């Protein structure tokens, strides 16, 4: 009986996967990009654990970051930030993950650098001097 349930679940998941593949290959690009960004953000956030080959996205990223040299980390981060900021930001990355990225970047700065940065911003949020 358990095998029959597993097979039924497998068939339903295949049907859903085929429907998703059909959507991704036929829907307008701006819709597909938005759906994929949201799906990958959900899977990468680890809430709730998805039954998919992409469910360890964050662990994979951590592995590559651990094995990369400082130069590779700088280049990968720079390339990722440039890609995120191209064109329609909402299609590239939803607002919440971009905010989390900013928090991660800010948290990695030494306290003295945080104070120096904040000292360059006036109450209106404008930079003083060169960026």
Q: What are the pLDDT digits (tens) for 10-32?
A: 888 888 888 888 888 898 888 88
| Residue 50: inside a domain | yes
| Residue 40: inside a domain | yes
2 compared with 90, residue with greater pLDDT: 2
Q: How far, CA to CA in Å, does 2 sit from each of 12, 46, 70, 108?
A: 15, 28, 50, 49
Alpha-helical regions (H) of the chain: 2-26, 29-45, 57-67, 70-84, 89-92, 95-107, 111-119
| Residue 33: inside a domain | yes
Work out the mean pLDDT of the chain and round it to a whole number.
76
Residue 92 — very low, low, confident or very high, per pLDDT cuts 50/70/90? low
In this prediction, residues 26-49 reach a mean pLDDT of 70
What domain range includes position 60?
2-93
Domain total for the chain? Answer: 1
């Amino acid at each position: 009986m358990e095998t029959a349930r597993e097979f039924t679940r497998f068939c339903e998941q295949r049907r859903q996967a085929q429907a998703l593949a059909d959507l991704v290959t036929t829907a307008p690009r701006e819709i597909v990009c938005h759906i994929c960004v949201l799906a990958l953000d959900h899977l990468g956030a680890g809430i709730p654990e998805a039954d998919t080959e992409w469910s360890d996205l964050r662990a994979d990223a951590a592995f590559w970051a651990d094995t990369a040299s400082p130069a590779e980390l700088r280049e990968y981060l720079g390339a990722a930030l440039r890609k995120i900021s191209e064109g329609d930001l909402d299609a590239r990355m939803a607002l919440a993950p971009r905010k989390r990225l900013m928090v991660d970047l800010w948290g990695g700065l030494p306290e003295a650098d945080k104070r120096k940065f904040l000292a360059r911003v006036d109450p209106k949020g404008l930079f003083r001097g060169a960026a």
